[in-house]
A and B are shown apart, each in its own frame.
Chain A
Amino acid sequence: MNEKIIIIENLVKRYPMGETEFTALKNINLTFDKGEFAGFVGPSGSGKTTILNILGSLDTPTEGKVVVEGEDVSNLSEKASALLRKEHIGFIFQSFNLLPVYTVFENVELSLLLLKKSAAEREKAVTAALEWVGLQDMARKKPPQLSGGESQRVAIARAIVKRPNIVLADEPTANLDAENAHIIMQTMQKLNEELKTTFIFATHDEKVMQYLKRKIHLQDGRVSKDETMETKTLQL
């Protein structure tokens, strides 16, 4: 039996909008197994980012239950949420969000500093992460010296360097051309297979969708379709 890494039960998320409320997510029920390569797909405003934020414990449900790595994120304190993100979750954002004054090595190293790893452990883990994404020669460069594709690969290295069980990627190819988008997706696919890291995407990009093994279609905050795809492995 596969290990359930995320369980979502009757999830509802409402936001205040003036005197009324806007319901972003309506009665979502889903589970994710360890090692999945899945994605929420749908048009803008369908609730993709909202659900990703809740899974990442950056936001809380209005109703229902969301259990991530055995922790119910709706009841977590500020400190416990931070701990969950620090230890188990990596984030990849559409605009890379690298810190420009730090080198590639230092950007990737940051999450290990938060975990209080020793200098030797950090050196080893960062070197390995940069090798995974093929940027070992760029360690001393700074983000402004990198291309878009290279920047997003650094962001991937930063997300996986601490070996999280879950990586949440919000529109990771939105700022990349087609060639770089494929390279990024293939990199993540390879990491999913080698490290058994669970990847969950939010995207409306066809280039991303063709790599997903599971597509969860969102429409106006509801799951309209949950489909498992044939395994498709592309070689780098």
Chain B
Amino acid sequence: MIKFIFTGLLRDKSRSLLPILVIMIGVFLTVGMTGYIRGFIEDFVDQNARLQTGHVNVVTKAYAQNESLMPIDLALLGIDTLMKKLETDFPGYTWSPRINFGGMLDVPDESGESKKQGPVMGMAVDLLSGKTDEINRLNLHTALAEGHIPEASGEVIIGEELARKLDLHPGDKVTFIGSTMEGSLTFRNFTVSGTIRYGVRQMDNVIMLLDLKDAQALLDMENGATQILGYSKQGVYFDEEAARTRDAFNKKYAGSGDQFIPVMRSLSDEPTLGYYLTYINSFSGLMIFILIVIMSIVLWNAGLLGGLRRYNEFGIRLAMGEEKGHVYKMLLYEALFTGIIGSVFGTLLGVALTLFLQYKGIDISGMVQGGAMIMPNIIRAKFSPDLLSVGFIPGVAAMVIGTMLSGIAIFKRETAKLIKELEI
């Protein structure tokens, strides 16, 4: 009987082709979008973690409250001791101190007079000790556009866009003008060793990267840092794990009224970033849910129309002695079959799209221009094995649910009434 039903299904294209196409398109969109959103989230999180937040980070309580002002006077001090404690208490993380600070970059002409000036955002990391992995973490080799990574004290590397605006090239001298941790004016000459391009406009326009020790000397911050970033040794951000680490750390210092106590925050605690992560996750879940609902409604209607077309067939089968339950069961088998076929093709197409977008990416630089958030200019999709099921199961479910809804009228009718309606 099943062979008989499937023979009819294969021969009657209007019965099989439309549902398969609907499922295929729905599953394709679900898989493709999920892959793309996932890639976006991972890129977004990874880039923010590498450049700005770490998977977790430690700052003073006061700094956390005024972070947008980059208040170096509220920085952590005595970081050697704090680093040792962090390494002992949380061995699952590697810890890197950084200093973020603002100032002005002055470009002198041949006679030493100001030729050009521009605001910079200084980022000091451990570039020269050879003990940390900051160079790789910041992808400096990949991001290097010109020149070389600082190899000695007194060298800085600057954003490519900033270099273009200030007409700077490797080997040029610049003067940083800013204020120390105590509020005094500070000047120091640096040599531009090279330029970097992250493809993130917010970075490429203003960034000046230098060694941590140089920054500590420049800003009178001996043994200090604005923050200590922690990176999971697994290399991937896990929100729950980060939250556990944060809570364990903060529990130690809870209750102290001191504004300079260290506090730990996870990546998703960053107000804007956390909001976006929640938003994107909810949005992607909502999109998948809406797709399933739409597919079910379309298939319900397709099932109703198909059912109307096949009323005659159902009537004949009932008159021949097939039970209503059996007719309904066969309908569900058909739905399962078409659902699986549509879902397989939809998944294959969705995975192909994901792999294509993983390789190619979509350039969104125009959309993020001038934004305050660190976002990659090119968003790439991300393939993961669960993409094989993320659309497949909803696809089959939507087909079966759509058929169940449309076929329920047959199942619930009395045979006599049904036969009358079937007009055989």
Q: A residues bordering B, Cβ < 8 Å?
A: 53, 56, 58-60, 78-79, 81-87, 89, 91, 93, 95, 97, 99, 101-102, 106, 109-111, 113-114
Contacts and interface: CB of A to CB of B under 8 A. Distances in A.
A82 B7 CA distance: 24
Given A58-B319, A85-B321, A97-B312, 9 more contacts: A59-B416, A60-B416, A86-B321, A89-B321, A97-B424, A102-B11, A106-B4, A110-B4, A110-B317
A114 B321 contact: yes
B315 A97 contact: yes
Contact of A95 (B11, B319, B323, B424): B424
Interface of B: 1, 4, 7-8, 11-12, 312-313, 315-324, 415-416, 419, 424
A101 B11 CA distance: 6
A93 B424 contact: yes
Contacts of B322: 82, 86, 114
Contacts of B323: 78-79, 82
Nearest to B13: A101
Contacts of B424: 91, 93, 95, 97
B321 A83 contact: yes
Contacts of A111: 320-321
B320 A114 contact: yes
A101 B310 CA distance: 11
A25 B320 CA distance: 25
A193 B350 CA distance: 64
A151 to B, nearest CB: 13
Contact of B320 (A78, A91, A106): A91
Contacts of B321: 82-87, 89, 111, 114
B12 A101 contact: yes
Contacts of B313: 99
A83 B320 CA distance: 9
**Interface SS, B side:** helix
Nearest to A155: B316
A194 B373 CA distance: 90
A146 B4 CA distance: 21
B320 A85 contact: yes
B11 A110 contact: no
B149 to A, nearest CB: 71
A111 B321 CA distance: 8
30 contacts: A53-B416, A58-B319, A58-B415, A59-B415, A59-B416, A59-B419, A78-B415, A79-B323, A84-B321, A85-B320, A85-B321, A86-B320, A86-B322, A91-B424, A93-B424, A97-B312, A97-B315, A97-B316, A97-B424, A99-B312, A101-B11, A102-B8, A106-B4, A110-B316, A110-B317, A111-B321, A113-B4, A114-B1, A114-B321, A114-B322
Nearest to B8: A101
A141 to B, nearest CB: 14
**Interface SS, A side:** helix
B261 to A, nearest CB: 76
A44 to B, nearest CB: 15
Contacts of A99: 8, 312-313, 316
Nearest to A94: B424
A78 B322 CA distance: 10
A56 B12 CA distance: 30
A106 B317 CA distance: 13
Contacts of B315: 97
A13 B170 CA distance: 102
A91 B1 CA distance: 20
A109 B4 CA distance: 10
B7 A81 contact: no
A53 B1 contact: no
A56 B318 CA distance: 11
Contacts of A85: 319-321
Q: Which 5 A-B pairs have the closest CB atoms?
A: A86-B321, A85-B321, A59-B416, A101-B11, A82-B323
Contacts of A60: 416
A85 B416 CA distance: 13
B367 to A, nearest CB: 51
Contacts of B316: 97, 99, 110
B419 to A, nearest CB: 5
B315 to A, nearest CB: 7
B312 A78 contact: no
Contacts of A97: 312, 315-316, 424
Contacts of B319: 56, 58, 85, 91
A53 B422 CA distance: 13
A84 B322 CA distance: 10
B324 A78 contact: yes
Contacts of A93: 424
A101 B8 CA distance: 6
Contacts of A59: 415-416, 419
A52 B153 CA distance: 104
Nearest to B319: A91
A114 B424 CA distance: 19
A110 B7 contact: no
A113 B11 CA distance: 19
Contacts of B11: 101-102
A56 B416 CA distance: 10
Contacts of A84: 321
A187 B321 CA distance: 24
A96 B323 CA distance: 21
Nearest to B323: A82
Contacts of B317: 110, 114
A82 B317 CA distance: 10
A23 to B, nearest CB: 16
B14 to A, nearest CB: 10
Nearest to A168: B319
A83 B316 CA distance: 15
B334 to A, nearest CB: 13
